Structure 1
Amino acid sequence: MLTEKQIRAFKPRENDYIVSDGRSTRGEGVLILKVRPNGTKEYYFQRHVAGKKKLTKVGVWPTLSLVEARESCREQRTKVIAGGTFNDLLDAYVSKLTGENAASTDDVQWSFKRYVTEPFPNLAILPACAIGPGEIRDIITRMIERGITTYCNRVRSRLHAAFQMGLEQEFNPRNYHQDGLKFGLQNNPVASIPVQDDWERPGDRTLTVEELATLWQLLPEKLSLTTAVLIQFLIASGGQRPEQLLAVERQQYYKDHLLIRNKKGRDGERAAHAVPYNKLMRQSLHTMSEISSTSVYPFEGKNEGKSLHANSLSRAVTKLYGRHAEKFEEPFTLRDLRRTCKTLMGVAGISKELRDRIQGHAFSDVSSKHYDRYDYFKEKKSGLARWSTWLEKNAIKRP
């Protein structure tokens, strides 16, 4: 191996000559020093591509020390060995979620395409190991400049998880030789990017009865029919989680109820959550059936066979408020509608326990977790019928 003393002692000759820094594993490439006739000493990373030598200039000695040249060469070698691109890493993470049947799979895939690969195509084709904190910062900055707040943290978290998966694949001794695609990661570049904590504070906004009535009346005229009917259905159903509801295919809408499968449940939370229909829910489903009675999802988006996306729904609610801010006391979001339903169902005389069951909340006490297998279908049906009657009187038919 070369030393600084040796490099200093090398004398120029009539022609260029090369000195290697030592042997390396076949195919990984090696650091070499080229001495020019004028005395200039240059570092190169040399490797063989398709049987031919390829040189990549690393720097000039002594501006770049031998230690720094070796480090640069190591990074270059990692990129050569690890063929996995940034896009490959994101695809691998989505495949992992798909294999785990994760409820967030579609949303994760959509967010990577929307905020990473489409706006940054040049980053997507780079080796994953070439992505650093600066590139991740640029991705999140672009989102913030577009006025996106809380969802920035979601994308950051998903990128962190993708790189962490790549690291575990690289350094897990049990499956290192089993995985074909390598990424050559040495660290997680997302770890240096801070979470925007001020956008994670729990909300407390609930719409008043008057505001809910105003919203209900605005929906059919100010939004697309599918979006408007979906929001009415969410309200009529007592504030179900939009992401879970939109994942329910038509075959899970039965004669008297729909079945929401909670793929990401916590201890004490049911794997399946039955939501009985009330009068308003049936009206919404009838409207959607008139549009299409055979689509995979009752609330189908622009793409055939695909449900309307929860993020599109969220943006629609935010834009609706923005266009009619004078009609409401303060801003509200899609997430606030679930809280509003929970609160106003209490005003309608529905007990907290029943409201929790209608919204599919977890019951973590020992009795609920391990012994109580009663489905409470009859009670939920009665509660939702009462909620429907209250909505008609106080919101829908309100002058």
Structure 2
Amino acid sequence: MASNASKTVNDQKVRGMTPGCSPLVESLPGRGTGALLFKRANEGSPVCYYRYHLAGKQILIKLGVYRRTAREVGFTLPELRDKAAAMAQIAKAHGDVKAYLAKQEADSEATRIENERAVEAARLKTEDEARERQHLAEIEASRGTFGELFLDYIDSLRGKATAGVVKELERVYQTNMLTPHPSIMAMKARDIRPDHILVILNQIWDRDAKVQTSRICAYLSAAFNYGLRVENSVGRSSAKSYNLENNPAAVVAVKKVSVPVTRALSDAELSKFWKTVETTQGVGPVMALLFKFVIATGGQRILNICETSWDDYDLEVGTVRLIHRKGRGGQSMGRPHLVPLTERAVAILNRVKEINGCHPWPWTTTGKQHIVVSSPRHAIADWLKSEHAVIDGKQTPSFSPRDLRRTCAQLMQRHGISDQLSDLLQAHGQTGVANLHYRNNPEAALPEKQRAIELFERALAKVLGKHSVANVDSASKII
């Protein structure tokens, strides 16, 4: 058709196109490069196409809308020619322009999708890393400090060890660890090294507390051993984890220092203490009678006496039932120890009953609990500061409540009482397989203990002289 003849197109011709008119065609320079083709199908602006032939078939590729005025959206004629020239270059290089453009579009879409996936993967990775950092931070926060480990260890002993052991460990923690070394105790337990343990122990060693240094080293080693196994324990109440890999206290060596305790009261000191302790300022009547009762029963452990209630005394038979919790097993494996009571011991109980008969415990100064183990030490300190502690112009050397036990043992030894009877009366060496499984009837040993206490009473009477049972209490019956 004449209207389709290849010829130059100008703006006037394109603007003059009417809806439904024949297309305008402008061939591009060069043979086989294709042509611009304008169509106006409706009232809208003409649409420009790039036309080329492939295998005898006409193919159109839309280039865009012709912009008739500056206010319209579209392309100018020179811009459309440039776009068509670009298509011609593609046709020259690749032949099928439409297939090439489709492939380019598919590749672009694939690249876009790949980029979006990469961005999404990076976002997810960032979120995962953030969650992992938070998780590690939570794990780190849950890991216990050195101080928490030691307190956790103390809690694990409640109900297993004696209340005195637990209280001593709490004192050790406050006095020798937390107060002087707060920064070390605040460190994570897994970060503690042997040099940190040495800092704690050297300070104790330097104040000449050699035995205590060794003891606290053992406490620290036990605490870390507890931490190494506790995280795999069923039913554990603490949520703290320690992630320990070794025991830093186990490799610390403390020089063994043997300090045998030899202090025992002489006969003169024992007699003076017995005669004057009740009149010593600062020493209450129950406390004074406690010392006398410990001595009168052959030097029983003072804490075991303090822990007794009136129910532990069989006044018809004349015995007191003590529970020994010393050694391995502690609170959960207490060993009963029946002690026969002499007339002197019964007389002392008469006086105590007048004072504390309304309370559950004979040995109480408050009525709310039994005497605690530190109180007798203070009472003896008061006696040592009094004028009574001066004998023949000389000050009585310091002694502790536990030295009364040694005094009684040596008194028995000096008066020919066998070590076997002495040990039986004081419950020395009453552990082991044979005692646990065979000699485990406290009543069976009473006859031998009765013989031991009678022999001890004779020795004690010689030391106290005229301070006989009548001088303790004139009553001959339990109230």
User: Aligned to 1:352, which of 410, 416, 419?
Assistant: 419
CA contact (8 A) 2:263 2:399 kept: yes
Tell whether the 8 Å contact from 2:228 to 2:245 is kept in structure 1 after alignment: yes
Larger Cα-atom Rg: 2
- Residue 4 of structure 1 corresponds to none
Is contact 1:207–1:337 with CA below 8 Å preserved after alignment?
A: yes
- Residues 169 and 176 in structure 1, CA contact (< 8 A), matched pair in contact too: no
The counterpart of 2:298, out of the listed 216, 220, 238, is 238
Is the CA contact (8 Å cut-off) linking 1:265 and 1:271 kept in structure 2? no
Residues 136/335 of structure 1: CA separation in 2 closer, same or farther (3 Å cut): farther
Amino acid at match of 1:336: D
Whichever residue aligns with residue 319 of structure 2, its letter is H
- Larger deviation: 115-124 or 230-239? 115-124
1:282 to 334, 342, 346: 346
Contact conserved, 2:283 with 2:383, CA < 8 A, in 1? Answer: no
Quick one: which amino acid aligns to residue 423 of structure 2? D
Q: Which runs of 5+ in 2 are unaligned?
A: 1-125, 469-479
For the residues of structure 1 that align with 2:206 and 2:255, how far apart are their CA atoms?
14
* Total equivalences in the alignment: 324
Distance in 2 between residues matched to 1:368 and 1:164, nearest whole Å: 30
Confirm or deny: 8 A CA contact 2:142 2:240 kept in the other structure.
Answer: no
Q: Say which structure, 1 or 2, has more relative contact order (CA 8 Å, 6+ apart).
A: 1
1:378 maps onto 2:447 in alignment? yes
Q: Which runs of 5+ in 1 are unaligned?
A: 1-18, 30-46, 49-76
**Cα offset for 1:238?**
0.7
**1:258 equivalent in alignment to 2:323:** no
Q: Supply the distance in 1 between the matched residues of 2:223 and 2:229 (Cα, whole angstroms).
A: 10
Q: Over aligned residues, Cα RMSD in angstroms? A: 4.3
* Match for residue 336 of structure 1 among 384, 387, 403: 403
Mapped partners of 1:216, 1:223: distance in 2: 16
Out of 266, 279, 283, which is 1:224 matched to? 283
| 2:260 is aligned with 1:202 | yes
Q: 1:367 to 1:117 in 2, by over 3 A?
A: closer
Letter in 2 for 1:258: V
Q: How does 1:71-150 map to 2 (within 5 A)?
A: 78=140, 80-82=141-143, 84-85=144-145, 88-100=148-160, 102=161, 104=162, 106-117=163-174, 120=178, 122=182, 126=186, 129=189, 150=211
Identity over aligned pairs, percent:
26
- Secondary structure of 1:376's aligned partner: helix
Does residue 333 of structure 2 align to residue 272 of structure 1?
Answer: no
Structure 2 residue aligned with 1:14: none
- 1:343 deviates by 1.6
* Distance in 2 separating the partners of 1:301 and 1:293: 12
Q: 1:112 to 1:353 in 2, by over 3 A?
A: closer
Corresponding position of 1:12: none
Q: Which amino acid aligns with 1:113?
A: E
Does 2:457 align with 1:388?
Answer: yes
Distance in 2 between the 1:87 and 1:316 partners? 34
1:309 is the counterpart of 2:368 = no
Change (3 A) 1:313 1:396: farther
Query: CA-to-partner distance for each residue in 1:128-182, whole Å, 9 max, x for gaps?
Result: 6166667766766777788867555544433432332122214x5x659996332
1:85, 1:125 within 8 Å by CA — same for their partners in 2?
Answer: yes
Change (3 A) 1:194 1:266: closer
Aligned to 1:164: 225
Compute the displacement of 1:397 (Å): 3.2
Contact 1:219–1:228, Cα closer than 8 Å, also in 2: yes
Q: Is the 8 A contact 1:93 1:165 kept in 2?
A: yes
In structure 2, the CA distance between the partners of 1:110 and 1:193, relative to structure 1 (3 Å rule), is: farther
Distance 1:128 1:232 in 2: 50
Structure-2 change in CA distance of 1:214 and 1:205 (3 Å): same
Q: Distance in 1 between matches of 2:359 and 2:184?
A: 34
Counterparts in 2 of 1:315 and 1:196: CA distance versus 1, 3 Å: farther
For 2:242, give the aligned amino acid. F
Query: Does structure 2 retain, via aligned residues, the 8 Å contact 1:115–1:139?
Result: no
How big is each residue's C-alpha offset from its partner over 1:194-224, in whole Å with a ceiling of 9 and x where there is no partner? 54643x4222333221121122234221552
Amino acid at match of 1:246: C
1:270 CA drift (Å): 9.2
1:388 aligned partner, one-letter code: E
**Residues 143 and 300 (structure 1 numbering): CA distance in 2 closer, same or farther, change over 3 Å?**
farther
Aligned to 2:241: 182
CA distance in 2, matches of 1:195, 1:140: 9
Say which SS state the counterpart of residue 158 (structure 2) adopts: helix
How many Å separate the matches in 2 of 1:365 and 1:113? 30
TM-score when scaled to structure 1? 0.64
Measured in 1, the distance between the counterparts of 2:350 and 2:196 equals 48
Quote the Cα distance in structure 1 between the aligned partners of 2:382 and 2:184.
31
SS at match of 1:258: strand
CA deviation profile, 1:225-257 (whole Å, cap 9, x unmatched): 233222222111111122333333332222221
The residue type equivalent to 2:359 in the other structure is S
| Amino acid in the other structure paired with 2:134 | G
